[in-house]
Structure 1
Amino acid sequence: MSRIRPAQEADVPVILELIHELARYEKEPDAVKTTEAQLHSALFGPTPAVFAHVAEDDGTVQGFALWFRNFSTWEGVHGIYLEDLYVRPEARGAGHGKALLQTLARHAVDHGYARVEWAVLNWNEPSIGFYRSLGARPQDEWSTFRLTGEALREFGAARPAGVPS
């Protein structure tokens, strides 16, 4: 049975390893630029804004959930945005993913948060089916937009009209 616990500093290397596994699963094996130092600082620095839980089986980390708080202006309360949920392929079907999501749902309920939300790749039918089985529903009327790389640098460098430099 899966044991879910908050990540500890000693978990940083295995969480980064799992992030690399997730990138390979999502067909982006060279996309991860995160270092152990960056991950450690984000999770355990003086003011962490990112949190993680791990799923253990017999003392071995089999999966993780990395998340942060967001805010609903309509609800007036926080929510959880699940950035990554990943369970090693050989450990799938043992309840780790469900237990990780239940832990986040319990945290949201206990803290009065309005929702837990995340994105999933459209081609990832196994995960979509799993999420639907839990009662989660896609937000079909919304599209995710991302500003990154050179477009982000160019747009961020431009001065908005009427704003002094």
Structure 2
Amino acid sequence: MIRAATSADIPVIHAMIRELAEYEKVPDEARADEPQLAEALFGERPAAFAHIAEDRGLPVGFALWFLNFSTWRGVHGIYLEDLYVRPEARGGGHGKALLTELARICVERGYERLEWAVLNWNKPSIDFYEALGARAQDEWTVYRLTDGALTALGARA
């Protein structure tokens, strides 16, 4: 079962974010805390949204996403920040169900893109996404400013 997250899900979402960071071999980079997640997902002006995958009433996965905008298409899309299914539940269709729900939201709301990034070494996920019809955007390279570089650039303003 896939359902929209509620504020009661903050602890489990936080735990799964930590699990995802461990899986991606960067546990120290997951610094968000529960109050930050609560504000981002359920504050006065939510910046992100989440869905929970349940199996027999227990949370086994989540998708955390936000809206982006295509200047070329003139409409919103969904950017999937995190998709995670706990190891013991993988292969049970939960990841596909989460993506299906996000695709349904896109179609229902007239959004024309559902996008996400995947680590180059994550072959099981790449194979899974390609089996669903997703295609890598190989001509694009992701850039990111964080920490000291972000602070330094921002200080120039």
TM-score tier, shorter chain, comes to over 0.9
Q: Distance in 2 between matches of 1:12 and 1:59?
A: 16
Structure 2 residue corresponding to 1:141, chosen from 139, 142, 153: 139
- The alignment partner of 1:30 has SS state of helix
Superposition CA RMSD, Å: 0.5
Runs of 4+ in 1 over 3 A off after TM superposition: none
Post-superposition offset of 1:49: 1.5
Q: Distance in 2 between matches of 1:29 and 1:141?
A: 29
Post-superposition offset of 1:31: 1.2
Post-superposition offset of 1:30: 1.5
Q: 1:128 matched to which residue of 2?
A: 126
Q: 1:8 matched to which residue of 2?
A: 6
Q: 1:163 matched to which residue of 2?
A: none
What is the CA deviation profile of residues 124-145 of structure 1, one whole-angstrom value per residue up to 9, with x for unaligned ones? 0000000000000000000000
Q: AA paired with 2:92?
A: A
1:15-164 map, 5 Å = 15-159=13-157
TM-score, reference length from structure 1: 0.94
Q: AA paired with 1:12?
A: I
Runs of at least 5 residues in structure 2 that lack an aligned partner in the other structure: none
Runs of at least 5 residues in structure 1 that lack an aligned partner in the other structure: 160-165
Point out the structure with the larger helix share: 2
- The alignment partner of 2:14 has SS state of helix
TM-score, reference length from structure 2: 0.99
Aligned positions, number: 157
Q: Which has the larger radius of gyration?
A: 1
